[in-house]
Every structure is written in structure tokens, then in C-alpha cells.
């Protein structure tokens, strides 16, 4: 697979930002999207920042039309955008459920649906979904988030079976506790308890995720599909 166009949702910070920078610095043309302002260096010659609401199919269609007109349709799609709205189940509001499912799961569906057609036409492509160990092991206070991420496992496996004959791989990466904005609210005591349950004895860093994503997008990973790979320091073994 030649180094072509990479589309990354949720690219303005955290894991998505690190993935975008890694691909851009390795010569890929990167289209990074976010609903918020970008903190990434948008002066990178091969990085194109776009504001996009992945829950809006009209906005996605407009984005698709723009990318097509500029010959920027991606052959690598990284569905990274995700939100949390943590609350114990009995106190969870309907909108907390709806918003998380709509962004984390339906947003992945929306982007995959519109971009996969070009991959099928070209008989080449990579789709990489960023999930979470919460979707594999569950987590109190995250019924909505864990459900959305667990659903990505079924999404990944089913889509991989559908498009494998077209030389398209579909995989998922499930980060554990990674040092990002999503874990910044944890105090030192909470972090210590978490680390005590991680065999490698540390919180992960964003490069632990981005390097695996880069590998899954490469020619070397052409025989890997339908997999959900945990990157959690061994947490899921417990």
C-alpha cells in the first residue's frame, strides 16, 4: 500500500493528535477532524485540519464531496473520535446515553459507510477503530461508554468479514488507561490503585497506541483483520 491519504476523526488532542502527527511526520497526507479547535500544528504541509461533526450525515457528505474534489479521499480511515458522559446507571440521563452512542458508535458507522465505497472501488483500504478496554471488561459508571466500545468489536469483526475479499482490513485497538485528557481527572490515589492492577506498572502514553495504529495501516499488517488488540499493560488479564 502506497503512502496516500489518512482520515482521522478526533484528531485535535490526545490519542488522535498523536496518531495524526505520527502519520504526517511519516509522509502521509493527513486529514484530521474535530468538533473543537485544533491544538495541533496545522502548519504541517501535509496536514489538513477540518471541523466536522461526525454525528451529522449532511456534514459528512459535504466533507466527502470536498475531499473527492481535491483528490483526498482516504484509503486509511481511523475512527478515533469519542466522548464520555460517566454516571452510575440509575442516574444516567437519556441524553448521556444517546450522545455517547451517537458519537462513539454511529459516528464510526457514518464515516465508514461513506468512505468504504472508494476503498472497495480501489480494492485496497484500512479501517482502524479506536475502542477501549472498558468495552471488553466493563467499568462502573460507564454503561454508555462501555456499550459503545463493546459494539465496535462486533462492528469490526462483521465488517472485516464483508470486505476482506476486496483487500480491505478492519481492526480495532482497545487502549487501557492512557495519559490523556480523558484520564486527567484521576487523582494520585486513583492512579496508584490503577497502576497496582497493571502488570507493567505504569499508565500508558499516546505513542503506545499510535505506533500500533501505524503498524496496522502498513503493508506488514496486510494479513491481520477482524481483530481487537488491547494495549493496556496487561490490565485485561485480570
Q: What is the pLDDT of residues 91-128, one digit of tens each?
A: 999 999 999 999 999 999 999 999 999 999 999 999 99
Is 145 a catalytic site residue? yes
Q: Write 161-165 long-range contacts (CB < 8 A, 24+).
A: 161/226, 163/116, 163/119, 163/120, 163/125, 164/225, 164/226
Side-chain-side CA neighbours of 170 within 13 Å: the count stands at: 25
pLDDT above 80 for 70: yes
| pTM of the shown model | 0.95
Q: What is the pLDDT of residues 129-174, one digit of tens each?
A: 999 999 999 999 999 999 999 999 999 999 999 999 999 999 999 9
Place of cell 503493508: 219
Q: What is the pLDDT of residues 171-186, one digit of tens each?
A: 999 999 999 876 767 7
The CA distance from 124 to 134, in Å, is 31
What confidence score (pLDDT) does residue 40 get? 65
**Is 33 in contact with 11 (CB distance < 8 Å)?**
yes
Q: Which of 28, 66, 145, 223 is catalytic?
A: 145
What confidence score (pLDDT) does residue 115 get? 98
Q: What is the pLDDT of residues 187-221, one digit of tens each?
A: 788 888 889 999 999 999 999 999 999 999 999 99
**Is 46 in contact with 73 (CB distance < 8 Å)?**
no
Q: Write 194-200 long-range contacts (CB < 8 A, 24+).
A: 197/235, 197/238, 198/232, 198/233, 198/234, 198/235, 199/233, 199/234, 199/235, 199/237, 200/233, 200/234
Q: How confident is the model at residue 39 (pLDDT cuts 50, 70, 90)?
A: low
pLDDT above 90 for 224: yes
pLDDT above 60 for 77: yes
The CA distance from 147 to 3, in Å, is 34
pLDDT above 50 for 44: yes
Q: How confident is the model at residue 67 (pLDDT cuts 50, 70, 90)?
A: very high
Instruction: Report whether CATH 3.40.50.720 matches the domain 5-237.
Output: yes
Amino acid at each position: 500500500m502506497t503512502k496516500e491519504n489518512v482520515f482521522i476523526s478526533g484528531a485535535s488532542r490526545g490519542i488522535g493528535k498523536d496518531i495524526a502527527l505520527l502519520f504526517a511526520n511519516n509522509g502521509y497526507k493527513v486529514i484530521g477532524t474535530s468538533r473543537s479547535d485544533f491544538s495541533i500544528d496545522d502548519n504541517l504541509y501535509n496536514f489538513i485540519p477540518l471541523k466536522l461533526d461526525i454525528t451529522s450525515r449532511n456534514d459528512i457528505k459535504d466533507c466527502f464531496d470536498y475531499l473527492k474534489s481535491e483528490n483526498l479521499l482516504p484509503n486509511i480511515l481511523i475512527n478515533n473520535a469519542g466522548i464520555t458522559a460517566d454516571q452510575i446507571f440509575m442516574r444516567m440521563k437519556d441524553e448521556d446515553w444517546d450522545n455517547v452512542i451517537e458519537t462513539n458508535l454511529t459516528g464510526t458507522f457514518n464515516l465508514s459507510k461513506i468512505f468504504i465505497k472508494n476503498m472497495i472501488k480501489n480494492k485496497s483500504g484500512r479501517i482502524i477503530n479506536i475502542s477501549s478496554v472498558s468495552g471488553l471488561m466493563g467499568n462502573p459508571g460507564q454503561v454508555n461508554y462501555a456499550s459503545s466500545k463493546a459494539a465496535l468489536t462486533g462492528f469490526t469483526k462483521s465488517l472485516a468479514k464483508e470486505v476482506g475479499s476486496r483487500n480491505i482490513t478492519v481492526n480495532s485497538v482497545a487502549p487501557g488507561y492512557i495519559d490523556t485528557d480523558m484520564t486527567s481527572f484521576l487523582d494520585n490515589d486513583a492512579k496508584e490503585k490503577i497502576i497496582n492492577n497493571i502488570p507493567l506498572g505504569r499508565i500508558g502514553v499516546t505513542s503506545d497506541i499510535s505506533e500500533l495504529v501505524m503498524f496496522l495501516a502498513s503493508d506488514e499488517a496486510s494479513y491481520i483483520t477482524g481483530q481487537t488488540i488491547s494495549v493496556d499493560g496487561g490490565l485485561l488479564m485480570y
